[in-house]
Amino acid sequence: MNLIKSTGTFGFYTIISRLLGYIRDILIAIFLGTGLLADAFFVAFRIPNTFRRLFSEGTFNAAFVPSYTSEMNKGKKSANDFANNIFNLLFLGLLILTIVVQIFMPGFVSIIAPGFVDDLEKMDLAISLTRITFPFLLFISLASFFSAILNSHNKFAAASAAPILLNVILIIVLLFSKALGDELVYHLSYGVSLAGFLQLIFLYYFVKRFFSFKFKFKLASDEKVKFFFRKLLPSIFSSGVTQINILVGTIIASFQASAVSYLYYADRIYQINLAIAGIAIGVVILPQLSRFIDTKNEEKISFIQNKALELSLFLSIPATIALMIGSEQIISALFGYGNFNKESVNNSSLSLFYFALGLPAFALIKVFSSFFFANHNTKIPFYISLISVLLNILISIYYFNKIGFIIIPIATSISSWFNAVVLFIYLKNNNLFYFQNNFFLNFFKIIFASILMGLFFNFLLNFFENQLSFYYSFKSIYLILSVLFALFFYIFICYFIKAFKISDIKLNY
């Protein structure tokens, strides 16, 4: 496996998906803004989308890939039987969950958006929309199961390309928005569930080469299956802690008008980098790392861990600096149109600034957690993540009445740094990770290059100040130019000081 090429493949399709997601979100910002309809739709979309991230962005992999890899070493039949048992139990559990939530949807929405309770119109709309979008959870979770099988065979393209379908469908719906009128949010919600079903069909086309499933009315639950499900729940919580923190933030933000929307738009921006710097790397290294741990190849284990950590920092640190420097211009250029007014830009950019402070931590959590998961250890990340979420809740609730919604990204970043640091300390103290000789030199080179890039990016934003103003029609073009210039400048500096080497692209791990 080639870490950079595999991460590049995963990252390429993920970026395509995120760019289409940006087009989707800018259309939503234009036609829905940050009012009642937007808040209700984002709550309805947040739930299945959070589960999508929880399952598809490496969380299901965390429990499944190490176990499935072990079964693959025993033979194809053993791996297929194990996967079949998991599939049938997963399908049955998700089907029951979907039916139960549909029945008790009013209570469910009251829990996830308690701030809507006093606004009957918003509450009724959120209930209706969530009923429509919730089947997405069933489809996308099963699709994630297929993705995990493909990833176990080092096939990352189809799994990372599947989310593109969701954005394409929602964009098509939004392009017909004028004809749909007030029914737009309902059609968007139907589009979400349809996209989940299509992703499931799409991935099955690719996975059938490696896996042939059979529905069984007699569900098998041997010791291997029980061990998997004992790992699954902790892994969902620990690997998806960033998404859980954001979901907690959404619940608290629902008590302040338009706050859910401010956080949503800020979240969309930094997630683009997180998808590559954390999620892609974590997903890509897990199968190979699991194999080397099985064979106790300590040299390869250390090599992969150090390269994964180095690559994560190489991608996340400059992004953090750029997002902090240009948060207002970025939000304005990407979303500041139509119903998305100046106040919306100011509040969303403030959220983005504080989310950006936690971006390296969000990425490190994904990478460090993969080190645990490859060792079949999901309990320790679970306990650390649980404390992190509790810390996030305490900070958010205590300061919410004093400073409002902005405490949510602040609390999310603080709790995430706590999580990342404690994970690292545990890894070091238990000899599950150690630094190689050249790591710190490369790390300081990355810091140096990132600072120079930040200074250059700040110069570009000042140079294009008039073109990036809120009222300028083509501001997004100048933002894209500024970002591209800064990116090429960063890569050039890294290449010049040898923080990045062409030979790294050719390395196989």
Q: How far apart are CA 421 and CA 424, in angstroms?
A: 5
| Residue 59, CA atoms < 13 Å, CB-side half-sphere | 27
Q: Which of 37-41, 248-252, 392-396 is predicted most confidently?
A: 392-396
CB atoms within 10 A of CB 172: 12
The pLDDT value recorded for residue 86 is 84
* 268: confidence class by pLDDT, cuts 50, 70, 90: confident
Task: Give the confidence band of 208 by pLDDT, cuts at 50, 70, 90.
Answer: confident
> How much is the pLDDT for 199?
93
Mean pLDDT of 409-425: 93
pLDDT of residue 221: 66
Listed ranges 43-47, 333-337, 459-463; the one with the highest mean pLDDT: 459-463
In the predicted structure, residue 352 carries a pLDDT above the cut 90: yes
Across the range 408-427, mean pLDDT stands at 93
User: Across residues 14-40, what is the average pLDDT?
Assistant: 78
Average pLDDT over residues 343-368: 90
The secondary structure of 255-293, three-state, reads: CCCCHHHHHHHHHHHHHHHHHHHHHHHHHHHHHHHHHHH
| Measured distance CA(129)–CA(124) in Å, rounded | 9
- Look at residue 255 in the predicted model and tell me its pLDDT: 77
CA distance 108 to 102: 9
- Per the CB < 8 A criterion, the answer to whether 317 and 361 are in contact is no
Mean pLDDT of the region 73-78: 79
Rounded to an integer, the average pLDDT of 357-365 is 90
At residue 191, φ and ψ (nearest 5 deg) are -60, -35
Tell me the pTM. 0.78
Three-class HEC string of 91-104 = HHHHHHHHHHHHHC
**Spatial separation of the C-alpha atoms in residues 58 and 144, rounded to whole Å:** 9
> Cβ distance 235 to 55 under 8 Å?
no
Please, is 35 exposed, middle or buried when counting C-beta atoms within 10 Å of its C-beta (0-12, 13-18, 19+)?
middle
Please tell me whether residue 377 adopts helix, strand or coil conformation: coil
Residue with the bigger pLDDT between 156 and 220: it is 156
Confidence of residue 463 (pLDDT cuts 50, 70, 90): very high
Closest to 243 in 3D by CA, of 508, 47, 459, 33: 47
Rounded to whole angstroms, the Cα distance separating 170 from 179 reads 15
- Residue range 98-144, pLDDT digits in tens: 899 899 988 888 887 777 777 778 788 888 888 999 999 899 888 88
Higher pLDDT among residues 100 and 180, named by residue: 100
DSSP-derived letter for residue 135 is H
Q: What is the mean pLDDT of residues 41-66?
A: 70
Q: What is the pLDDT of residue 169?
A: 92
- Mean model confidence pLDDT for the chain: 83
**pLDDT above 70 as % of the chain:** 89
Alpha carbon distances (Å) from 221 to 104, 227, 301, 377, 489: 29, 10, 32, 21, 55
Q: In the 8-state DSSP scheme, what is residue 35?
A: S
More confident residue, 441 or 264: 441
Highest-confidence range of 135-139, 393-397, 459-463, 471-475, by mean pLDDT? 459-463
User: In the prediction, which pLDDT does 461 show?
Assistant: 94
Q: In the structure, what pLDDT confidence band is assigned to residue 243 with cuts at 50, 70 and 90?
A: low
**Among 243-252, 270-279, 359-368, 499-508, which range has the highest average pLDDT?**
359-368
CA-to-CA distance for 443 and 360, rounded, in angstroms? 13
- Of 359, 269, 283, the C-alpha closest to 315 is 359
Side chain identity at residue 142, one-letter code: L
User: What pLDDT is recorded for position 58?
Assistant: 56
Per-range mean pLDDT, top range of 147-151, 153-157, 295-299, 409-413: 409-413
Domains of the chain, residue spans: 3-506
pLDDT at 155 over 70: yes
**280-300 pLDDT per residue, tens:** 777 777 777 777 887 778 888
For residue 254, the model assigns a pLDDT of 72
439: enclosing H helix or E strand = helix 439-463
- E strand or H helix at 151: helix 135-152
Q: How far apart are CA 163 and CA 74, in angstroms?
A: 32
pLDDT at 242: 65
In this structure, are residues 415 and 270 in contact, taking their beta carbons and an 8 Å threshold? no
CA Rg value for the chain = 22
Q: Per-residue pLDDT for 190 more than 80?
A: yes
Q: How many angstroms separate the CA atoms of 73 and 395, rounded?
A: 46
Q: What is the pLDDT of residue 343?
A: 86
pLDDT for residue 1 is more than 60 = no
Among the ranges given (43-57, 173-187, 245-259, 381-395), the one the predictor scored with the smallest mean pLDDT: 43-57
Average pLDDT over residues 63-70: 78
Helix ranges (DSSP H) in 275-341: 281-294, 298-325, 327-335
Cα(59)–Cα(237) distance, integer angstroms = 8
Most confident of 327-341, 372-386, 475-489: 475-489
Helices H, strands E: what count in the chain? 24, 0
Q: For residue 248, is pLDDT > 60? A: yes
User: What is the pLDDT confidence band of residue 305, given thresholds at 50, 70 and 90?
Assistant: confident
